[in-house]
Amino acid sequence: MISPGRGPVPAAKTVTAPDQGSLPVLVARGLTKRYGHVTALDGTDLTLRRDEVLAVIGDNGAGKSTLIKCLSGAVVPDEGTIEVDGRRVAFRGPLDARAAGIETVYQHLAIAPARDIAANLYLGRELRRKGFAGWGLRLLDRKAMRANTRELLDSLGLLTIQSLDQAAETLSGGQRQGIAVARAAAFGSRVVIMDEPTAALGVKESRKVLDLILEIKNRGIPVILISHDMPHVFEVADRIHIQRLGRRIACVPTADITMPEAVALMTGASQPGPGHTQD
Amino acid sequence: MSTNQAIDDRGIRDADARGRRVGEPLTTPPPAPAARLQRLLHAHPLTGPALVLVLACVLFSLLIGPRFYQPANLSLVVQQVQIIGMVGVAQTLVILTAGIDLSVAAIMVFTTVVAARLAVGAGVPAALALLAGFAAGAACGAVNGLLVTRFRVPPFIATLGTLNVFGALTLLVSGSQTVRGADLPALFLWPGQTFSAFGADITYGSALVLVAFLFVAHVLRRTAWGEHVHVTGDTLEGARLSGIRTDRVLLSVYVIAGLICAVAGWFLIGRVGSVSPFSGENVNLSSITAVVIGGTSLFGGRGHVAGTLLGALIVGVFSNGLTLAGVDVLWQTFTIGVLVVAAVGVDQWTRRVGG
């Protein structure tokens, strides 16, 4: 959506109409990851379409987090391929994934508690001043970072007019989550991945995060949502990817499945039938 | 104290529970009266050390009179703390990354004997010998940095080891001999020369220490590198996931710290007037003391070199003032100890602002 070099400028992007013929944004095939004798991922597939929220659910040990780490570059898979917009990629680290336009909101947020809000939004990709002061003296453009941060938080409904000088640690858990989500929304140009974004939040704060997920989708960026919370998943997801024992056992439109059915598949109480896996 | 704290904690939790939610303005609720100081110290961490320094100066001025506050004596205080201050700059950089460098004094002394050996023993031109000393300091820092980043040795252990290694190398290079001032090139002794300003004789060394403070403070505050140093100390994993090359940041910090220590070594030669493998022994712990009293957190990520300058001056003022007042030396040690513990206590307290 926005080129990272320029920083977050919250321009509302026109939503492209869902095009059945268009390529999926992200395709993973046969991802395998072993840790010693433990096989965390056993040849799993994943397809993320344009303009959708894809929920990834699964029991503990199903390989959800390893799968997500492969997609966000934090883990390098032993086997398998990942394609972004039809192009093969091989992520060696989080930087590579970010360069490909994939932003991740980690469960532990990756927020620097002692830094202020603007600094946290630009963590690792701070804006420099124009001209020699920027590339020669490598000076930061804190003014622009602050102004952009204000604009971005405002456009996401996360701020009216308040101090951006305060340290992240003075914010509530929900506000910190808001900062992390805003960062992903600002810099994620192709895909935003969220790992259990509502796990530590109360009811009202979760509500806000779910709204943010839909807001990001409306801006034309597909979202992968990892969550344990079935009501949340069924509320915002367009399709549900069910992970079990290191493989994708089903991937169905949310409208075609009920919550008990999803839980039964996830826990192995029932077996997937034909038509349960659609790319 | 503990009652107040309990009230503070409750106040902050209530404020959270009352609903600073996502989506609502990022306002802070009106602070409970007792939390105000905590918030002030959290937002302006230099307030504490600045206040202590001013109070100490006022106290000793009243107690001792002109003998304390005359320019000549104040200039002496600055000269006495310049080495600790300069090494403190290096120590601040390392502590900001949540590390610690126990080898700073060893690096400093090692570089002086390298430079002196080259200039006096091998007849290398003074400026070249000095630069070789600086390079040796950076190399020592690189060893520390590689141990921490490449070999994942905790900084405390890595620098405890190199403290001994560099100390032994110092004895090896110097042959345990002191080089007298009369044998040293004039350039080596230049930082000890004085110029007149504000009615006092000020050494070039102490003036340059102030310049170094200003420069490093500027770099830490205004550059992307400075930002990354803070973030790396604040949240190592978060920094890594945000794409900051934390190993490179840490290595650069240790190398620059080594270089600063080498420059401090030059000032040390000027101050002492000779090169001895046994000088500067108390500088290690004193530099940590100055950093901690200056309000920089040993847990990394928060602090300021200006605080270290204040911390070094506080140590200098107390030592000087208590000496002039004729108080037994043991009370100097005692006072500094109390200040260190108090500073760490204040740090722990203010860090809980967010709850």
Which residue ranges does chain A devote to CATH 3.40.50.300? Answer: 26-110+169-267
Instruction: Round to whole Å and give the CA distance between A234 and A228.
Output: 11
Instruction: Tell me whether residues B234 and A157 touch, CB distance under 8 A.
Output: no
Q: Give the strands of the sheet with A38-48, arranged side by side.
A: A38-48, A26-35, A79-84, A87-89
Using CA atoms, how far apart are residues A37 and A199, in angstroms rounded to an integer? Answer: 30
> Are B301 and B229 within 8 A, CB to CB?
no
Q: Which residues of A touch B240 (CB under 8 A)?
A: 94
CB A119 to CB B16 under 8 A?
no
Asked if residue A233 has pLDDT above 90, the reply is yes
Asked if pLDDT for residue B25 goes beyond 80, the answer is no
- B8, B16, B26: best mutation site toward chain A, by most A Cβ within 10 Å? B26
pLDDT (tens digit per residue) in B77-95: 999 899 999 999 999 999 9
How sure is the predictor about B28, in pLDDT bands with cuts at 50, 70 and 90? low
- pTM of structure: 0.85
What class has domain B45-354?
mainly alpha
Segment B253-262 shows an average pLDDT of: 98
> Under CATH, what is the fold of the domain A26-110+169-267?
Rossmann fold (3.40.50)
What are the pLDDT digits (tens) for A34-62?
A: 999 999 999 999 999 998 999 999 998 88
**Would you give the DSSP letter of residue B20?**
-
Q: Chain B contacts of A117, Cβ < 8 Å?
A: 26
Read off the pLDDT of each residue in A238-266 and give the average, rounded to a whole number: 92
Interface contact flag, A123 B238, Cβ < 8 Å? yes
- Contact list in B for residue A110 (CB cut-off 8 A) is 235, 237-238, 241-242
- Of A73, A139, A213, nearest to B221 by C-alpha is A139
Record: contact A110-B222, CB cut-off 8 A: no
Q: What is the pLDDT of residue A17?
A: 44
Give the percent of chain B with pLDDT over 70: 90
Q: Do residues B191 and B59 make contact, with C-beta atoms less than 8 angstroms apart?
A: no
The DSSP code sequence of B30-72 is PPPTTHHHHHHHHH-TTHHHHHHHHHHHHHHHHHHTHHHHSHH
Point out the least confidently predicted range of B100-104, B112-116, B297-301: B297-301
CA-based nearest residue to B250, from B89, B87, B98, B88: B98
Question: What ipTM was predicted for this assembly?
Answer: 0.81
Which sequence spans correspond to the domains of chain B? 1-43, 45-354
- The residue whose two tokens read 């108090």 is B342
Chain B: residue whose CA lies nearest to A175: B22
Q: Tokens for A1?
A: 């959506």
Put simply, whether A12 touches B (Cβ < 8 Å) is: no
What percentage of chain B reaches a pLDDT higher than 90?
A: 70
pLDDT at A65: 87
Phi, psi for residue A95 in degrees, rounded to 5: -60, -40
Task: Please tell me which of the candidates B20, B242, B301 has its beta carbon nearest to residue A110.
Answer: B242
Q: How confident is the model at residue B33 (pLDDT cuts 50, 70, 90)?
A: low
The interaxial angle of helices B104-116 and B126-149, nearest 10 deg, is 150
**Nearest CB to B234 within list A114, A140, A209:** A114
